């Protein structure tokens, strides 16, 4: 076993950061060196995340200056960024600039949206503000680990949770050539996907026992990201009709991707295609029966299945939004960046009764 790799978490008080801290607590190689919070420096990590108090009894949130000291001191630091989009790019740029000036070689996995686009113009078109570090965009790849066998950049931007579920289902269809490029997606996410700050859409009395589409259905900001990642993975940019929904549960995403078949195929043939496509993917399971969120919630696994009436295929995908769709996917990428087994620290199954 080689020496522990220091890891820092940025944007440390949100749900994704909490999930990162939980995963790092059990990781065989990454050791938490610091978690940054602009709003709560010096406060107890266990106070913000009661479920983590037993594994981080003495850990306190650090300031940006303290995190800077870590990345300029250590030869290589694993930087997980869970800061909000719009704030992440400037923070990452500052840390990388200081580390590089000190001759250090950190690696970054950004879970925000700031490095998911190939150009500053593409980012600005979606988020309506200028990119804070456009010179850094070329140093980041944006893809799912299952769709990018060879990584050529030092850093990674992990796609969002909706994008993760949709791409896992859609990319095999596009790559196989079995369907047209017109994709129709309906995806339902849990309340943790809206972040920790309470808003009307995540307030329990408003969301409990209810199901509704987002106000910006067919115009959601993740749709361009899905199209771009699908194009990078397959060479085909789909015509995407994406309708996201808010579900009455805390964790998980269930996505249904439908497309017209170019020639008749039955469900068994489509399941075979999915199994062949993901034969080397340790976290993707293709099941005969439709997947359920409780089968994956709290884990880094994705369950897929497929149905067909001979003319139309529906690929169903269930993931955990905080884990496979964010923190777990980020750890999966960081494992690869450091040459570790892709599964390190991520093989625990779902609890099953969340």
Residues with a catalytic annotation lie at 161
Strand partners, 5: 30
Give the other-Cβ count within 10 Å of 148's Cβ. Answer: 18
* Angle in degrees, CA 16, 294, 173, rounded to 5: 85
Q: b or e along 203-225 (b: 16 or more beta carbons within 10 Å of the residue's beta carbon)?
A: eeeebeeeeeebeeeeebebbbb
Backbone angles phi, psi at 208, to 5 degrees: -60, 135
Q: Is 207 left (phi over 0), alpha (psi -120 to 50) or beta?
A: alpha
Q: What is the dihedral of CA 68, 104, 91, 222, to 10 degrees?
A: -140
Beta-strand (E) ranges in the chain? 5-10, 30-35, 78-81, 107-110, 140-142, 155-157, 182-189, 212-213, 239-246, 253-260, 284-286, 302-308, 312-319
């Amino acid at each position: 076993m080689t020496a522990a790799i220091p890891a820092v978490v940025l944007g440390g008080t949100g749900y994704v950061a909490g999930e990162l801290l939980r995963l790092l607590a059990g990781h065989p190689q990454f050791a938490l060196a610091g978690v940054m919070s602009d709003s709560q420096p010096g406060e107890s990590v266990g106070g913000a995340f009661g479920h983590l108090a037993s594994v981080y009894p003495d850990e306190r949130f650090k300031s940006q200056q303290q995190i800077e000291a870590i990345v300029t001191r250590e030869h290589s630091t694993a930087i997980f960024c869970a800061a909000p989009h719009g704030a992440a790019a400037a923070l990452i740029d500052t840390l990388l600039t200081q580390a590089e000036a000190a001759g250090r070689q950190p690696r970054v996995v950004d879970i925000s949206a700031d490095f998911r686009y190939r150009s500053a113009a593409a980012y600005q078109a979606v988020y309506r503000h200028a990119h804070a570090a456009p010179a850094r965009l070329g140093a980041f790849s944006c893809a799912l680990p299952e769709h990018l066998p060879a990584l050529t950049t030092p850093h990674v931007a992990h796609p969002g949770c909706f994008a993760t579920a949709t791409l896992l289902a859609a990319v095999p269809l596009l790559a196989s050539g079995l369907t047209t490029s017109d994709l129709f997606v309906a995806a339902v996410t849990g309340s943790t996907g809206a972040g920790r700050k309470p808003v009307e859409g995540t307030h329990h009395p408003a969301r409990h026992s209810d199901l509704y589409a987002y106000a910006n259905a067919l115009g959601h900001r993740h749709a361009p990201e899905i199209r771009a990642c699908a194009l990078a993975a397959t060479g085909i940019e789909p015509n995407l009709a994406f309708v996201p929904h808010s579900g009455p549960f805390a964790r998980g995403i269930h996505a249904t991707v439908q497309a017209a078949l170019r020639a008749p195929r039955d469900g068994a043939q489509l399941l075979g295609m999915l199994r062949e496509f993901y034969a080397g993917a340790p976290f993707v399971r293709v099941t005969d029966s439709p997947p359920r969120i409780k089968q994956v919630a709290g884990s880094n696994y994705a369950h897929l299945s497929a149905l067909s009436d001979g003319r139309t295929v529906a690929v169903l995908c269930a993931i955990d939004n905080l884990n496979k769709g964010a923190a777990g996917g980020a750890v999966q990428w960081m494992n690869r960046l450091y040459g570790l087994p892709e599964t390190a620290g991520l093989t625990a199954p779902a609890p099953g009764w969340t």
